[in-house]
Each structure stands twice: as C-alpha cells, then as structure tokens.
Amino acid sequence: MTALRFIGSFLSALVVVSILLTIGVKLFAMFEPEEATLVFHEVDLLSAGERRELANVLGTQPRLGILPPMADIPPLKFRRTVHGFVQLELSIGAAGRVTDAKVLGSTLPPSYQQRAIELVRARRYAPDLVDGQPVASRRLEIVDLPMNAPVSDRKLMPAEPSP
C-alpha cells in the first residue's frame, strides 16, 4: 500500500513539474526579442520597362545600366614600395675605403644585395685610429633599400657619405 502511495505521489509530482516547466518555457519565450527577418526587395529583378514605370511612380529617373567604355576609365597609378635590409660585414682600409664586403644576411633578392655592396663601396668611411694613426678595421653595416622596381630598371641611387 505504501508503495502505491509512493508511486502515485511520484507520478503526480512528475506531472506538476512538467506543467510548470512548460509554462516557464512559454513565458520566457514571450520575453525573447523577435529574430530579425530578411526582407527582400525585388526591384533589381525588374525588366527595363518595369523599372521605367516604377521610376515614374516614384518621380525619379530610371537608373541606366550603361558603363563608360574601358578607354575612358583612367588607370590606377600607384607604386608599391617595399623596403628591405642587407647586412654587410665590411673591411675598411687605412684610407677609409671598403676593401671587402661580405653579405651576412638579407631580406632582399641577390640583385639588391649586389646594389647594397655597390653603395657601401662608393662611400668613404672614417678609419679607426690606433695611437693617432689610421688602421684597417672591420665593421658591420646595415643598408636599407626600397624594392619598388628591378635594380636594372632604376637609376642608381647616389652614394651617401657616412658620418
């Protein structure tokens, strides 16, 4: 008998909980914002005659689908400039001239590395002094070059004197 009472109480509690859950879900759904729905306007799908009629109704000019000829559109004029670096180890003679240049690292193609070597060879460096006398030395030089055109197509940049 107690087992039947327990089962009956359990089933009635289960029914009450399911009814409360259903009511709660319905109430919470009532407070949720409505989902935005997409509205499609089929104006772009109208024929040319329908567009003219619609433009007359709206009091505007119909949009013509005529593009200018390609020859009338000016080409875009811009140049992309990318800078790169060449790291060189230089041997400087007592006279301040570069006697040897070795590429240690580079972010540029080999033709730009050769251009960097040409630039440092054209410079004159202040030699190191030992007891007041100029001596041969080694230095590390980093050359920044713009990579906006092939080296052969560009004019050579003038060598900048080093301080």
Task: Quote the pLDDT of residue 101.
Answer: 93
Task: Quote the pLDDT of residue 36.
Answer: 64
The token duo for 68 is 């200018």
CATH topology classification for 83-153: TolA/TonB C-terminal domain (3.30.2420)
Instruction: Calculate the CA dihedral of residues 15, 19, 24, 29 and round it to 10 degrees.
Output: 130
| Calpha distance 142→140 (Å, rounded) | 7
Which positions ≥6 away from 127 have C-beta within 8 Å? 92, 93, 94, 95, 96, 134, 135, 136, 137
For the chain, give the percent of residues with pLDDT over 90: 17
Q: Who has greater pLDDT, 30 or 13?
A: 13
pLDDT band at 1 (very low <50, low <70, confident <90, very high): confident
| Calpha distance 92→134 (Å, rounded) | 10
pLDDT tens-digit readout, 53-107: 877 888 777 666 666 566 666 777 766 666 788 999 999 998 889 999 999 998 8
Task: Quote the pLDDT of residue 128.
Answer: 87
Mean pLDDT (the chain) is 77
| Calpha distance 157→83 (Å, rounded) | 14
CB 101 within 8 A of CB 89: yes
CB 112 within 8 A of CB 145: yes
Quick check: pTM over 0.95?
Answer: no
Q: Is the pLDDT of residue 153 over 70?
A: no
